[in-house]
Structure 1
Amino acid sequence: YPLFDVLFLTVCAVITGAEGWEDIEDFGRAHLGWLQEKGLFEQGLPVHDTIARVISRLDAEQFQQCFIRWVNSLCEVTEERFIAIDGKALRSSYDRNSRTSTIHMVSAFCAQNKLVLGQVKTEKKSNEITAIPELLRVLDLKGCLITIDAMGCQKEIAETIVNSGGDYLLAVKGNQKKLFHAIKSEFSALEDDIKESPLERQHGRLEIREYRVIPAPKTEPFNDWHGIKSIGQAVSFRYDKAGKKCSLEYRYYISSAELNEETFATGVREHWGIENSLHW
């Protein structure tokens, strides 16, 4: 049986929910006519044991790299391509009987195309720091703005992105305490220049967002970050009509791109897309 035929059958079956070799064989028998119309399995369908032997001989790492390159070739490259990278534990992946650990995946998500460009499996949440560089190495980052939450705000990750031809937009929180307070101080020193923003109504909430971006100072701790050019502040005011509660939140970012407020706002909001369009 041609390798391509077996791979194509397996991928299609798994996409539709197959969870084992017998499920894959059942899928193939149910769709044999459709497969043969495409020139596949001209000599008939293999049994599930044969499918299992073929797939088990594959080099999983090589297959993953081939798959990622194929997916990237499908993703149309636009002038401003935003790639969000984030981790998520897979629901129902913990097996109580065998005490198998929960599967945690780090994904690269192209916001404009709504397409996962690649994924890397980690053992624990803390391993995102090591998994992100591994994922970056197999992606084409040229001309892209890579957005990562505070977990990935690491100097090595920033340097990897810039050296690969991309730009980073990294959220900064308490894990980079010195940088966080320096950015906060820079924006506190500015005069309030708040512009009117449209009021958003959704899911019983009223929300106003503001974005400010300025050139990064050439002093410590900013000059410790490879290629840094901009720092940003995102402010969100939210009123929950049901609970009648108000909240005001400030978030801070660094970037190797010379961002204007529009591009900065788009990058921040597109990163949320990985939660709404992928994780959820």
Structure 2
Amino acid sequence: MNPIFDDTILKHFSSLEDPRIERTKQHVLIDIVAIAILAVLSGADSWVAIETYAQAKHKWLQQFLELPNGIPSHDTTARVFARLNPEAFEQCFHRWVESITETIGAQVIPIDGKTIRQSFDRDRLQKAIHVVSAWASTHRLVLGQLKVDSKSNEITAIPKLLELLDIAGCIITIDAMGCQKEIATQIVNQKADYVLALKGNQGKLADLVSLWFEKARSNDFEGIEHSYHSSTESAHGRIEIRQYWSVPVSELDALPNQQQWSGLRSLGMVVCERRLWNKTTIEVRFYISSLEYDALILAHAVRSHWGIENSVHWILDVTFNEDASRIRKDNAPLNFSVLRRLSLNLLSRDTSIRGSIAMKRYRAGLDNNYLAKIIATV
């Protein structure tokens, strides 16, 4: 690789194994990968758009890429990413994240799944790809992602994703799908805490907690050791009132299989009231946690988890058009999802200009100097 890229994110992808046979290698693998990263950063959402970007930036790209046979066609790029090992590609992404975060530090790490809706292929009997991602709330970075096996669900993917991360001292938040005894044990064994959403998949436990909180709330928690916090927000004609209660697990006499939930210390209830001009809705959620009972900490953890929807999933769909993407063949959908999350991380890290992720992408496509600044790792 050209020395110009020694201090950029691209160096972390230089060790990728080329999936092509020797006689078909008309283009250098790192050139293809580099062009894809730069193009997606600059607004490209398809293989044709990546080639179009590269053709327009040919002279600039020649300064640091070999390009022995010019710009790779969109078909060439699509074939390479369809065959590229997605685990190896994800590992390159993870190594870069580790290099910029060094240690994650104590913070909330939401873990949540997302389906890439148009990645299904009816002709190949391929289901839509579902990935589980971990997000660092303080760094505002996607720490890693893992594909959910087509014959399984998030329950099997979450432990594997946790194994990739140094989560010591952090608070892991997971929705109801991940509310499993084995996952709670793994989190505690990795020296972290958990806040797990409690729903019907833990039927007896969920019912007992729900009934207990309903009774306690009707008596205004009289005689019950508890912590309470509330917040009110108003914007765009909407008012949201959130109330949080946290109690020590000892307040409940008999929880089903309590001893099997490693480190379980507290239970929480969150009541969200949303007032619009024409209607009011109320949603009640319950949580189990290894943390000491503290409603303010519960509020921070829960709000941070909601943040992955707004700061990751919503942006991927609206700004990067992930749900509309029709990239489907073989490993291509999963590898392109890494390109999107990589771009989201890079653009989120940049503080040199103010503006939305969409405007930063637009600027990157217009301004080569700005783009070069974004991909610098120092």
Give yes or no for TM over 0.5: yes
Per the alignment, residue 41 of structure 1 pairs with 66
CA contact (8 A) 2:229 2:296 kept: no
More strand, by proportion: 1
C-alpha change, 1:64 and 1:95, in structure 2 (3 Å) is same
Which residue is 1:247 aligned to?
281
Q: Secondary structure at the match of 2:167?
A: coil
Superposed, 1:11-160 pairs within 5 Å as 11-15=37-41, 16-17=43-44, 19-20=46-47, 24-37=50-63, 39-41=64-66, 45=70, 47-48=72-73, 58-75=84-101, 80-96=106-122, 100-122=126-148, 127-160=153-186
Aligned residue in 2 for 1:201: 234
Instruction: Give the one of 249, 254, 269 matched to 1:216.
Output: 249
Using structure 1 for the length normalisation, give the TM-score.
0.82
Count of residue pairs brought into register by the alignment: 276
Moved more, 128-137 or 45-54: 45-54
Alpha-carbon distance in structure 1 between the residues aligned to 2:188 and 2:229: 34
Given the alignment of the two structures, is residue 229 of structure 1 paired with residue 258 of structure 2, yes or no? no
Distance (whole Å) between structure 2 residues aligned to residue 195 and residue 261 of structure 1: 5
Q: CA RMSD in A?
A: 3.2
Q: Deviations over 1:221-260 (max 9, x none)?
A: 3222012122111122233322x3x333321111122252
Partner AA of 2:108 in structure 1 = F
Which ranges in structure 2 are unaligned for 5 or more consecutive residues?
1-26, 222-226, 315-378
Greater alpha carbon shift after TM alignment, 71-80 vs 145-154: 71-80
Cα 1:54–1:78, aligned 2, differ >3 Å: closer, same or farther?
closer
Once the two structures are TM-superposed, the CA of residue 147 in structure 1 deviates from its matched residue by 0.7
Measured in 1, the distance between the counterparts of 2:202 and 2:281 equals 24
CA distance in 2, matches of 1:223, 1:52: 51
User: Equivalents in 1 of 2:229, 2:262: separation in Å?
Assistant: 34
SS at match of 2:118: coil
What TM-score comes out, normalization by structure 2 length?
A: 0.63
Paired residues of 1:206 and 1:241 also in contact (CA < 8 A): no
Asked if 1:192 corresponds to 2:220, the answer is: yes
By how many angstroms is 1:2 displaced?
A: 6.1
What letter matches 1:192 in structure 2?
D
- How far apart, in 1, do the equivalents of 2:151 and 2:306 lie? 19
Residue type of the alignment partner of 1:232: G
Per-residue deviation, residues 16-59 of structure 1 (Å, max 9, x unmatched) = 42533x6545543432333344x332767464487678667753
**Residue deviations 1:134-175 (CA, integer Å, cap 9, x gap):** 222222212221111111101111112222222211000111
Q: Bigger relative contact order, structure 1 or 2, given CA contacts below 8 A and separation 6+?
A: 2
Conserved in 2, the CA contact under 8 Å of 1:76 and 1:113?
no
Instruction: Provide the residue aligned with 2:298 in structure 1.
Output: 264
The aligned residue for residue 176 of structure 1 is 202
> 1:259 & 1:78 partners in 2: Cα distance?
24
Q: Which has the higher helix share?
A: 2
Query: Structure 1: where are the runs of 5+ without partners?
Result: none
